[in-house]
Amino acid sequence: MRTAIWRHFDFWLLGAVAVLVTFGLAMISSTIAGNAELIELDIVGRQITYGLVGFAVIVIAASVDYRLWVSISRVLYVILALLLFIIFVVGEASFGAARWLNIGLLIFQPSELAKITVIIILADYFARNREAPKDLKWIARSVVLTLILVVLILIQPNLSTSIVLLTVWFALLWISGLELKHLALFAVGGILLAALSFPLLQPYQQERVLNFFAPDPEAALAENYNVTQSLISIGSGGLLGQGYGQSTQVQLRFLKVRHNDFIFSAIAAEFGLVGALLVLGVIFFVIWRCVRAAQLSQDTFGSLIAYGVAVIIALHTIVNVGMNISLLPVTGLPLPFISAGGSSLLTFMFGIGLVESVVARHRALNFS
């Protein structure tokens, strides 16, 4: 059984992730070159540490039967909810808005773990109720499971992660059999929710939305500075780019947050349109392998886990690239496997480990 599991392990998926993580380290090193403040933070060293831990997480998660997560999913859900609440209370008393938990060698953001937790919880719920009527009661129960974590994350505040959780919920709901007659209800409800929630957003979040829909030309050097420099950086790369470590926009630090939120602009500046498309090609190859695992899965639970991981990787990629090219409002969603950020990297790699567990066992019952 153990040999059969590793025989079906998706080494193409693991290899693509390894390429992205390695390339991400190279880009982070390039973007912070010459910046003493960022170098002192040892961002590259920390990213290497998280990357190595992440590959260990992939192997461990792939070794564990993904179906075992059902038995501890509720415990994980409760622990995560408590952590989010404790961090909010402590953070509010000390720093105003805290999202990180220091566990010694690693600093982790529990809201990142919420992405995987929601996938597991919802996959279990929809799998157990796959024969239930697809009515409003069925939908409402899934909404409650999701909204508890969404609210705890919103009050940090962390709008972008909350949107990710809601997107994962809707995607798994749709895959699980959402009826078309309910789709119009969701459309109207979504618009009303967005309108009612806007006054509750933080001032900087409101400014981002307003600047996106009604940009102020005079704000190019203020609120819209990052987006303006991002577009200039992408344009400066042309077809083939200015070369690794040679972009004036990056090396002269006109482009801000270039090792994280706007690393895609740095990639385009140094490697051009061709290089940027190649990177996106590898990311979408990873997404395709996740979808393939979902299609190969022998049960609904495993299939929904793989689909959920594909959704969060695809959403992060679309939103990150979209904000870099000014098609979407600026958010804090990183480019998967490439942007600096240990918590997000571990989350994506944990997700890949779950997908590997699913695909490795899609023929586990075949003893021939």
Domain annotation covers residue 365? no
Q: Which residue has the higher pLDDT, 72 or 158?
A: 72
Span of 126-135, 177-186, 302-311, 322-331 with lowest mean pLDDT: 177-186
pLDDT at 181 over 50: yes
The verdict on residue 166 lying in a domain is yes
Domain membership of residue 366 (yes or no) is no
Nearest 5 degrees, angle CA 364-CA 168-CA 340?
90
User: What does the pLDDT average to over 176-184?
Assistant: 75
| 199 SS3 class | helix
**Cα 321 from Cα 40, distance rounded (Å):** 28
Split into its structural domains, the chain has a count of: 1
How far apart, in whole angstroms, are the C-alpha atoms of residue 339 and residue 326? 18
**pLDDT grade, residue 306 (50/70/90)?**
very high
| Residues 229/237, Cβ–Cβ less than 8 Å | no
In a domain, 368, yes or no: no
From 126, 132, 141, select the one nearest 174 (Cα to Cα): 126
Amino acid at site 339: S
In a domain, 181, yes or no: yes
Percent of the chain with pLDDT over 70: 79
**Predicted local confidence at residue 83, as pLDDT:** 82
CA pair distance 159, 192, nearest whole angstrom: 17
- CB contact at 8 A, 335 and 264: yes
Residue 248: inside a domain, yes or no? yes
Q: Of all residues in the chain, what percent carry a pLDDT higher than 90?
A: 40
* Span 7-31, average pLDDT: 93
Task: Quickly state the pLDDT bin for 96 (edges 50, 70, 90).
Answer: very low
Nearest to 122 by CA among 69, 80, 188: 69
Domain annotation covers residue 91: yes
Q: Residue 338 in contact with residue 54, Cβ under 8 Å?
A: no
Range of the domain at 287: 2-360
Give residue 338's pLDDT band: very low, low, confident or very high (50, 70, 90): very high
Q: Six-digit token pair at 95?
A: 């720093």
Residue of 33 and 103 predicted with greater confidence: 33
Q: Which tokens hold the place of 307?
A: 């689909």
Q: Is residue 367, in this structure, part of any structural domain at all?
A: no
Cα end-to-end span (Å), the chain: 11
Range picked from 11-25, 61-75, 134-148, 333-347 for highest mean pLDDT: 11-25
Range of weakest confidence among 181-190, 239-248, 344-353: 181-190
Q: Any idea which of 10-24, 152-166, 182-196, 248-262 has the lowest mean pLDDT?
A: 182-196
